[in-house]
Structure 1
Amino acid sequence: MHGWGVTEALAALPDWVVLVFALLTQLADAWFVFAGLTLLYLLADERLASEPRRTGGLLVALGVCTIAATVTFKTAFGLHRPVGAGSATPPVWLPALLDRVFVDFATGDGFGFPSGHATSSSIVYGGLALYLDRLWDQRRRILGAVAVTATVALSRLVLGVHHLPDVLAGIATGLAVLLAVRWVAGRDPERAFLAAGTLGAISVVATLVFAPEHPEELLKAAIALGAGLGAAVAWHRTGGDLPPVPVRIAVPAGVVLGGLWGGIYVAELAPVVSAVGSAIAVGGIVAVPGVVDSLE
């Protein structure tokens, strides 16, 4: 049995438990991760990190790495999800208006190994633990990252969208990518963005070689490639130890540029268009502090 029976054993949990884990799994979903990292990049100050702007840039780069790494390994292995992963039955007591949201939150599509959510959580929350050097102490940060990653991994099993080996491999993959980027880039955001772009290029090749019949994977890879290279250019031209962006500017800028990036992510455009649009959106986010500083 591919999943060692764990996913099947959890299938009998009550509806309310499934709903709770459908919400918790969003902690590693792309929309939540990039919204949080964007605001952290724009608003972070010395209370969170000794070099808040550089730290924010490093974390945004790690966010891009999650997309590229997930696409690369999923297409290379080409293993499918558990039966029924693409469908979910909303609880009868849930308001009908929320049925579509529940189904979106509680289902999964595409390849299943390794788990993208487990990969994402170990990269992003592990990165927060490593780089937010003024938030708590390192031991508490690591324990927090472990708790969130374990919760996300468990949520994927409860929802029935992954087997246990999928989430274990995702955690291992994420930690390997996190440590590799840290080794290559150190505390240099430009190098981290270039590493993300390189991973994006690798993911493009992986999709063309291993999954040419799955164009949706190529689009994700193109988005990662464009985001990494666009952000690297933006940091090279405008990056540095700049002050936090005022909330009155950070929130609208994040909404507009983040909305542009999210629209590109779901619109299924041509790969070249997706890459260019992603470069503009993520590069624009990285450039906001420099533009605001120059105007002021």
Structure 2
Amino acid sequence: MSRGLGWFDSFREVAPEWAVVVLGLVTQLGDVWFLGVLVGTLYWRATEDQDEIAAVAGLLLAGLALITGLKHVFALPRPERVLVELGALPETVHPLYEATATATGYGFPSGHALLTTIVYLSLAEHLSVGTRRRRYLGAAGIVTAVCFSRVGLGVHYLVDVVAGITVGLVFLLLAWGLLNRYPTHRGTLGFGLAVGLGAFAAVASDADPDAVLLLGASLGAFAGWQLAVLARALDSGRGPIRESTRLAARAVGAAVVIAALLVTTGYYWPVAVFAGSGALGLAVAVLVLLPVLYRSERGIGRWTRSPSRSQ
């Protein structure tokens, strides 16, 4: 059963061969690597709004887990079509074409549509660049361009990207409702959603390697953020940990997750995917924690001493 609406053949007849390169480059705006670099860079550079960007990073991981699980639940194939045959292109652009304009795996819903909806609308909501209206118009333009590129390249049907946008919007409404209800815990909630949906993806995919690695990364991000919050609290004089129930809970939670990742990395070493999941989680935890420690002039020192302070 086809999910297409029959317009792709008409588009293919009028589209020039070089269009596949342009669409392939546009589609990178919704690739996981690009979104990860974008959000990661904003997180490392953030000062005042680091909690907001941490929440966006959590929602990115959560969205990636959600789409991974949904693709395995529906298990619908991609279209058996291409915009341009590889042989029709100059050999010099073959690597670029294969890297940007091809796709494998299940096709419904569109992961690019879902992730761009989540990330770019979240950035439009939380960043302070320009006006809110302009940010949303820019986000909507990017989402539209990426979705068109996916359909134009022939790697998705139109219904795939519509479904991806719809799921992304519903997810955002629910997630934002939760984050706005507990505004002082945005980062923790964002990464917590990623852990929960990461577990869903692992179960729904029957422990697919990508889902297992994603769960490890989500756990590491959650633990790293708890350590980052602890470092900031101690640096601002809100300590020692043993005198604060909330800080103690964060410390215990982070310690449990880090210990689990260490055990997974060591004990399951013969099983590459599980060991890799633990190692990836530890690496992500370090990446989440480092920017906070870098900006803290006294944070590292306070981990080794705990003077009593009143607040």
Deviation of 1:87 (Å):
8.9
Residue 20 of structure 2 contacts residue 83 of structure 2 at CA under 8 Å; is this kept in 1? no
User: Is residue 107 from structure 1 mapped to residue 102 from structure 2 by the alignment?
Assistant: yes
Q: Distance in 1 between matches of 2:82 and 2:64?
A: 20
Structure 1 residues 3, 201: CA separation in 2 closer, same or farther (over 3 Å shift)? same
Deviation at 1:90, TM superposition (A): 6.2
CA distance in structure 1 between the partners assigned to 2:175 and 2:290 by the alignment: 24
- Closer/same/farther in 2, CA of residues 107 and 194 from structure 1, 3 Å limit: same
Counterpart of 2:229, as a letter, is G
Structure 1 residues 74 and 146 mapped into 2: Cα distance closer, same or farther (>3 Å)? same
Spell out the pairing of 1:242-261 with structure 2 (5 A cutoff).
Answer: none
Return the match for 1:182 from 176, 184, 187. 176
Q: Are residues 1:152 and 2:146 paired?
A: yes
Q: Does 1:220 align with 2:210?
A: yes
Q: 1:88 to 1:26 in 2, by over 3 A?
A: farther
Q: How does 1:75-154 map to 2 (within 5 A)?
A: 75-84=72-81, 88-89=85-86, 92-93=89-90, 96-132=91-127, 134-154=128-148
1:183 counterpart letter in structure 2: G
Equivalent residue pairs, number: 254
**Which secondary structure state, in structure 2, belongs to the residue aligned with residue 108 of structure 1?**
coil
Which sections of structure 2, spanning at least 5 residues, go unmatched?
A: 233-270, 302-311
Whether 2:239 is the aligned partner of 1:239: answer: no
Match of 1:25 in 2: 27
* Residue 168 of structure 1, aligned match among 162, 169, 184: 162
C-alpha separation in 1, matches of 2:153 and 2:140: 20
Amino acid at match of 1:136: G
User: 2:283 aligns to what SS in structure 1?
Assistant: helix
Tell me if structure 2 keeps the 8 A contact 1:235–1:286.
yes
Greater RCO between the two (CA within 8 Å, min separation 6)?
A: 1
Structure 1: distance between partners of 2:191 and 2:50? 14
Alignment of 1:35-114 (within 5 A): 35-45=37-47, 51-84=48-81, 88-89=85-86, 92-93=89-90, 96-114=91-109
Partner AA of 1:129 in structure 2: A
Structure 1 residues 264-285: Cα deviation after superposition (integer angstroms, max 9, x where no partner): xxxxx83312321331222122
Whole-angstrom CA distance in 1 between matches of 2:44 and 2:281: 18
Q: TM-score, normalised by structure 2?
A: 0.76
- Is the CA contact (8 Å cut-off) linking 2:21 and 2:97 kept in structure 1? yes
Query: In structure 1, how many angstroms separate the alpha carbons of the residues matched to 2:141 and 2:231?
Result: 31
Two-structure CA RMSD over aligned residues (Å):
2.2
Deviating more after overlay: 286-295 vs 121-130: 286-295
Percent sequence identity over aligned pairs: 33
Describe the shift of the 1:88–1:106 C-alpha distance in structure 2 as closer, same or farther (beyond 3 A).
farther
Q: Which runs of 4+ in 1 moved over 4 A?
A: 85-88
Query: Is this contact kept in 2: 1:54–1:241, CA < 8 A?
Result: no
Structure-1-length-normalised TM-score = 0.79
- What pairs with 1:267-282 in structure 2 (closer than 5 Å)? 270-282=272-284
Distance, in Å, in 2 between the alignment partners of 1:274 and 1:169 is: 32
Q: Is the aligned partner of 1:229 residue 2:219?
A: yes
